[in-house]
Amino acid sequence: MRTAARYDRIVATYPVRHVPSEWAAQLRPGGVLVTPWGSGLYNGVLLRLTGRGDGTAAGPVIGDSAFMWDRAQAPAAEVMDVVGDGTPTAVDRTGLDPRSVLGIEDAAFALGLLVPGARYSVGHGSGGEFTLWLADAATGSWASVDFAPHEAQFDVEQHGPRMLWREVEAAHKWWVRAGRPERTRFGVTVEPGGSRVWLDGPARPVPALAQAAQARIP
């Protein structure tokens, strides 16, 4: 599409993790942009953004939209490739049941926003045990949580500059305190400098919890 053109409707045919600001700039006032959108923890939802006529657009999640990542949008490395790149540097225990992280769709969606760059994989054992793996290819960070039935605490191992499970714990606490919001209560504002994610409206931005979680590391 030419930069000078303006459109009443833009429908993306491939999913994005970050909505390009150029798309918003190409909308006429009141024009609509519809695009699949997702993260490494929840794939995915459908955004409906409305152009404001000033090069920006904003709007909510309107439902689910399952998709396969376009090659250009796909993460650079598989989860277990990152995990195989180092030994754990931190060992801990957690009271957060990993089933509450990805087993609840609205939680998984919110955590995908709050723990950017993270992907996951699950390895199943016998008797209901499983290991949840999280990884961030950009930093080489990973975390694992071992679930066992009837246990209240679970073993955690982490590696790299990002303590991913600590970020997940902070994100899950935020989601619970926010009232366990459904994914359709979230939305995005796209501006020339990037995009902002919000809950219930632009006046309530989703916080950057990753930095706060890292600041609490001893």
Q: Where are the beta strands (DSSP E) in the chain?
A: 7-11, 27-37, 45-51, 57-64, 90-94, 119-124, 130-136, 141-147, 154-159, 186-191, 194-199
Question: Which pLDDT band, with edges at 50, 70 and 90, does 210 fall under?
Answer: low
Lowest-confidence segment of 2-6, 62-66, 144-148, 163-167 by average pLDDT: 2-6
The helix/strand/coil state of 192 is coil
Instruction: Write out pLDDT tens, residues 118-147.
Output: 999 999 988 889 999 999 999 999 999 999
Rounded to 5 degrees, φ, ψ at 36 are -65, 145
Cα-based distances in Å from 49 to 21, 68, 120, 152, 213: 12, 22, 28, 42, 31
What percent of the chain is helix, strand and coil (3-state, nearest 5)?
Answer: 25, 35, 40
Q: What tokens does 169 get?
A: 């714990």
pLDDT at residue 125 in the model: 86
Q: What pLDDT is recorded for position 92?
A: 92
Give the pLDDT score at 11.
86
Query: Which pLDDT band holds residue 74 (cuts at 50, 70, 90)?
Result: low
In this predicted structure, what is the pLDDT of residue 51?
Answer: 94
Predicted pLDDT at 146:
96
pLDDT at 155: 96
Provide the H-helix boundaries in the chain.
21-25, 79-83, 99-102, 105-114, 164-177, 209-215
Contact 154, 205 (CB under 8 A): no
Q: Over 70: is that where the pLDDT of 112 sits?
A: yes
DSSP single-letter state for residue 207: P
Mean pLDDT across 198-217: 72
Residue 67 has what pLDDT? Answer: 65
Instruction: Give the separation between CA 40 and CA 172, rounded to whole angstroms.
Output: 16
pTM attached to this predicted model: 0.86
Q: What angle do CA 167, 74, 76 make, to 5 degrees?
A: 70
Sheet holding 141-147, edge to edge: 90-94, 154-159, 141-147, 130-136, 119-124
Strands 130-136 and 141-147, by their bridges, are antiparallel
Instruction: For Cα atoms 174, 177, 179, give the angle at the middle one, nearest 5 degrees.
Output: 115
d(CA 148, CA 184): 32
Mean pLDDT of the chain, nearest integer = 86
pLDDT tens digits, one per residue of 163-188: 999 999 999 999 999 999 999 999 99
